[in-house]
């Protein structure tokens, strides 16, 4: 079974007390190094819930408050005689801006992409790949929805240009907070599949990409743009992991001004973060489907590993740690 939390670290042999010398039960982060991330994500989700509390999004605050409060892990033996923890059950809120759910969804999306990409490479062995970032000038957070609509229309125009020599694309939308703390910076990240001849007679220089995007946007300034070639399958896999990671950086959600964050929620409501076209459309169609509870947990259809019991952890808000529940 594929573990959604990559990295090393095994469960320590003793689970009766924490490593800090206190009388409280063992902390998840003490028992499993790779699961320390649960503490930070759950703590950040509490901050997001705080932004929503007492507003028109009170229901989001309540859902996030109870999200992943209890984690049920199976003890799975490793070949070296130690144990590792495998998440078996949890209750997720599925709120778009919940940091825990955002993290679990990104892992599910990456697992889907990793599963399908070898087939893309096998079916199109001569295709080459580019990483393209398209930007526009920052906009007021209150104008974000209209700006995204304009960008989507502009991208559609770009794909109809004669100079658009692309076999297929996977496009994600990311929104970051402007340096002034008030504006928003929407931009597209794209994985492009192109013919091998792109790096010969059909090569498009960066300044030509800029002009294509400027023409499609119908603006009188040169937008900032970046394009890079991806030379190895390893770099492709790494790129997939990066571009489908999240729509908004966690720090922008947690550390932002409350009013900015609430407006962001309003502006992004029912907008799509992922799009695809050309030869990549059929392969990545799974990315457009909602993530299942099983995927959030990291479960698969493979045969279950033998486990030797369960450990349940409860979120302790004052301590900002998950601690084991006494049975």
Can you give the pLDDT at residue 13?
Answer: 45
Q: What is the pLDDT of residue 132?
A: 95
CB crowding 134-144: b at 16 or more within 10 Å, else e:
bebebbebeeb
Residues in the chain: 327
Question: In angstroms, rounded to a whole number, what is the distance separating the alpha carbons of residues 35 and 149?
Answer: 39
Identify whether the C-beta of residue 325 lies closer than 8 Å to the C-beta of residue 317: no
148: burial class by Cβ within 10 Å (0-12, 13-18, 19+)? Answer: buried
The pLDDT mean for the chain works out to 87
Greatest mean pLDDT among 58-72, 75-89, 237-251? 58-72
The DSSP line for 289-307 is SPPPHHHHHT--SSPPPP-
Report the distance separating Cα 273 and Cα 111, nearest Å. Answer: 17
Question: Distance between alpha carbon 120 and the CA centroid of its chain, in Å?
Answer: 21
Q: What is the pTM of this model?
A: 0.85
* 49 in Cβ contact with 65 (< 8 Å): yes
Nearest 5°: phi and psi at 68? 50, 35
236 pLDDT more than 60: yes
The predicted structure's pLDDT at residue 4: 42
> How many separate helices (H) and strands (E) can be counted in the chain?
10, 10
**Nearest Cα residue to 90 out of 35, 132, 135:** 35
pLDDT in tens, 25-46: 899 999 999 999 999 999 999 9
Contact 29, 36 (CB under 8 A): yes
| HSE value, Cβ hemisphere, 13 Å, CA-based, for 46 | 14
Q: Tens digits of per-residue pLDDT, 246-285?
A: 678 777 788 778 999 999 999 999 898 889 999 999 888 8
The ranges assigned to domains in the chain are 1-112+291-327, 125-278
Rounded CA-CA distance 113/238 in Å is: 11
CB under 8 Å to 113, separation ≥6 — which residues?
A: 240, 241, 244, 284, 287
Model pLDDT, residue 180: 92
- The two beta strands, 321-324 and 225-230, are unpaired
Segment 93-105, tens digit of pLDDT: 999 999 999 999 8
Give the tokens for residue 170.
Answer: 């996977």
Closest CA relative to residue 174, chosen from 268, 313, 302, 66: 268
- Do 76 and 310 form a contact (C-beta atoms < 8 A)? no
Enter the CATH code of domain 125-278: 3.30.70
**E-assigned strand segments in 47-167:** 70-77, 83-90, 128-135, 139-140
Distances 59 to 49, 53, 121, 271 between C-alpha atoms, Å: 10, 8, 44, 20
DSSP 183-196: EEEEEEEEEEEE-G
């Amino acid at each position: 079974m594929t573990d959604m939390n990559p990295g090393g670290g095994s469960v320590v042999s003793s689970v009766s007390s924490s490593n800090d010398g206190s009388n409280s039960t063992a902390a998840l982060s003490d028992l499993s190094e790779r699961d320390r991330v649960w503490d930070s994500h759950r703590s950040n989700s509490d901050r997001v819930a705080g932004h929503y509390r007492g507003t028109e999004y009170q229901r989001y605050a309540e859902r996030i408050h109870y999200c992943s409060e209890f984690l049920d892990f199976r003890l799975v033996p490793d070949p070296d005689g130690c144990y590792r923890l495998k998440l078996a059950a949890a209750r997720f809120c599925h709120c778009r801006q919940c940091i825990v759910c955002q993290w679990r969804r990104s892992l599910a999306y990456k697992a889907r992409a990793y599963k399908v990409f070898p087939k893309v490479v096998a079916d199109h062995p001569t295709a080459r790949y580019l990483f393209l970032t398209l930007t526009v000038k920052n906009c007021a957070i209150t104008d974000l929805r209209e700006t995204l609509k304009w960008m989507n229309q502009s991208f559609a125009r770009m794909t109809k240009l004669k100079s658009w020599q692309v076999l297929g694309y996977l496009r994600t939308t990311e929104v970051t907070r402007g340096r002034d703390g008030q504006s928003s910076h929407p931009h597209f990240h794209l994985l492009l599949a192109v013919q091998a001849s792109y790096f010969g007679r059909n090569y498009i220089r960066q300044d030509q990409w800029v002009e294509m995007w400027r023409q499609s946007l119908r603006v009188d300034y040169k937008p900032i743009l970046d394009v890079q070639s991806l030379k190895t399958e390893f770099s492709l896999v790494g790129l997939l992991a990066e571009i489908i990671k999240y729509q908004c950086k966690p720090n922008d959600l947690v550390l932002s001004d409350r009013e900015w964050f609430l407006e962001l929620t309003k502006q992004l409501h029912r907008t799509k973060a992922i799009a695809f076209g050309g030869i990549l459309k059929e392969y990545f169609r799974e990315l457009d489907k909602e993530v299942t509870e099983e995927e959030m947990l990291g479960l698969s259809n493979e045969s279950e590993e033998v486990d030797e019991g369960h450990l349940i952890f409860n979120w302790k808000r004052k301590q900002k740690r998950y601690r084991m529940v006494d049975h």
